[in-house]
Amino acid sequence: MEQKKMVLRGEAALIIAVIINSLGVLLMLQSGSGISAISSVPYAFHQVFPKLTLGTWTYIFQGLLVLSLMIMRKKFVPSYLFSFVVGFAFGEMMDVHELWITRLPLNIPLRILYFALSYLIICIGIALSNRCKLPIIPTDLFPREVADITKVPYARIKIGFDVICLLVTAGMTYFCLGKIMGLGIGTIAAAFTMGKGIAIVGNWMDKKVTFTSILETMEKKRNIAL
């Protein structure tokens, strides 16, 4: 007998993804293993130009990603603008989480725990984002849309995107500050494996959860009316 799937509203999934992804990014940084690849570029800018917060640099970077997608699509995509709004909320949540995460106790066992939790949290958050049927955080949207545009498997695009982010971060912090900052063994390991990790979590979600959203409902009603 086929197991009945749980139904989750896409709006709820998106809210959860924004909250836990921003948490995962900062928890990985707190672990001392380096910042996550998706936030390494704004982190580098924050280190070089510290007058703006990490959250502010995050949604500036996300805005550039949205613009890049429109250029690749060669057309204006209205839903991408809402994605930028979601990115703004993500940046603000990073500033909120930063108020308490930096106060967490630190020792070797706890650092390992923080990294493991952050890796899992980010995988779950991105898998939720990819299935919520709504415009999502630009750093999650970018590899998903590039995969759709190029028809290259998502895992390959995600890994390539993460590696490029790490190279930009390493180069920028080294040439501007004289040392590589924000990158650690955890960052590198996550960059080369997280694409697969997200795919595994996503496949599990596909078996257990059915996602629906107001946009999907409106589209179905429009098709029926036609």
**Domains of the chain, residue spans:** 6-213
The whole-number pLDDT of residue 183 equals: 79
Nearest to 38 by CA among 64, 61, 56, 19: 61
| DSSP tag of 182 | S
| DSSP tag of 3 | P
The whole-number pLDDT of residue 110 equals: 93
30: left (phi over 0), alpha (psi -120 to 50) or beta: alpha
- Sequence length of the chain is 226
The whole-number pLDDT of residue 119 equals: 92
The whole-number pLDDT of residue 1 equals: 44
Indicate yes or no: pTM above 0.75. Answer: yes
> Side chain identity at 209, as an amino acid letter?
V
pLDDT less than 70: residues of the chain: 1-3, 215-226
The whole-number pLDDT of residue 225 equals: 52
CB 54 within 8 A of CB 95: yes
Q: Count CA atoms within 13 Å of residue 79 on its CB side.
A: 10
